[in-house]
Amino acid sequence: MRAVEWIDDRLRMIDQRQIPFALETVNYEDYVEVARAITDMVVRGAPAIGVSAAYGMALATRQSAATDVPALLADLDTAAGVMKAARPTAVNLAWAVDHVMDVARSAAFTTPDEIRAALLDEAHRMAEDDVRTNKQIGEYGAVLIKDGDTILHHCNTGFLATVDYGTALGIIRTAHEQGKHIHVLLDETRPRLQGARLSAWECEQLGIPYDIIPDTAAGFYMRRGEVNVVMFGADRVAANGDVVNKIGSYQIAVLGHENGIPVYSAMPISTVDLTMPDGDAIPIEERDPGEVRAPYGCDIVPAHFHARNPAFDITPHRYLSGIVTECGIVLPPFTENLRKTVESKT
């Protein structure tokens, strides 16, 4: 089962809000509902969000009653705005929407039905590309993991965060499948606990040894010499190599650097945004403070207590040992080497 899949003319997603206690799926036929699912984190993870958005745009073509190309493109412009607003930080979402809009605007299409077919085909292609890309990331990144290593991993970057296989957790999966004896320390990743809930569930399925640790315990294990490498994903990477990722990534990168531990971020090249000169130029999503006060509806403080809830933080490139992509491991200087890598891909 894939995290995101087209089944019986509908988009099916694993409902990640239910894991690890239940494995449930939700079906969508309305692009507005797909956008809401992205906002509500039924689906999450930059690659999975991007492919979901592409399928959402394919649904939008089917919902449109347009009988000519200009009218359909107008309806798609509306859908694109709704989809992009679902989560502003992860660049894969906007990238995917812009990409399918470019396909829709192709001069090769003369009827709305041709566009409808083309957008669905493109969404299928993007889904298959995501799986291939993730496996390539895993192959490149696994060389960074030695037999006997303990890896500190943040958030969830496995098959649930992608169409299938995963990025940073996909690297760990590849190392495990190669027969390396490894152990993973999983940050809880508060407030939504993607590490404790999702990454631990994936490790259970794959038979990868792991321990969940409090977010605040990362430095404790690093200082004791119990961490050999730090790995996390990315939701957007600036031209200079600054990485915007799930909140908490910055602090473990700083701690890793301070303790002489290599720190790697893993993502597809589509996550690199060369239009952003550095991380400070990237918008950071602020989510409902209620997620902090009452994660998953469980009250831990009174509802009137003040809280703030940034979804992402910025890891300056100086704390990264490298960036793992499907094109290989990008090393410093990132400003030069990231651009070369992106241009070689395109």
Residue-wise burial string across 60-75, b where 16 or more C-beta atoms lie within 10 A, e elsewhere: bbeebebeebeebbeb
Dihedrals phi, psi of 248, to nearest 5 degrees: 110, -15
Of 269, 278, 303, the closest CA to residue 288 belongs to: 303
Of 161, 163, 159, 152, the closest CA to residue 255 belongs to: 152
Adjacent-strand bridge partners of 312: 246
Dihedrals phi, psi of 96, to nearest 5 degrees: -65, -45
- Name the packing angle between helices 69-84 and 31-39 (round to 10°): 20
- Name the packing angle between helices 112-142 and 46-63 (round to 10°): 170
The dihedral region occupied by 248, where left means phi > 0, alpha psi between -120 and 50, and beta the remainder, is left
**To 5 degrees, how large is the angle CA 234–CA 283–CA 92?**
45
CA 289/CA 307 separation, integer angstroms: 5
Of 173, 344, 169, the closest CA to residue 264 belongs to: 169
Dihedrals phi, psi of 329, to nearest 5 degrees: -95, 120
Residues assigned a catalytic role: 235
CA 60/CA 258 separation, integer angstroms: 49
Contact 123, 47 (CB under 8 A): no
DSSP string, 89-125: S-HHHHHHHHHHHHHHT-TT--SHHHHHHHHHHHHHH
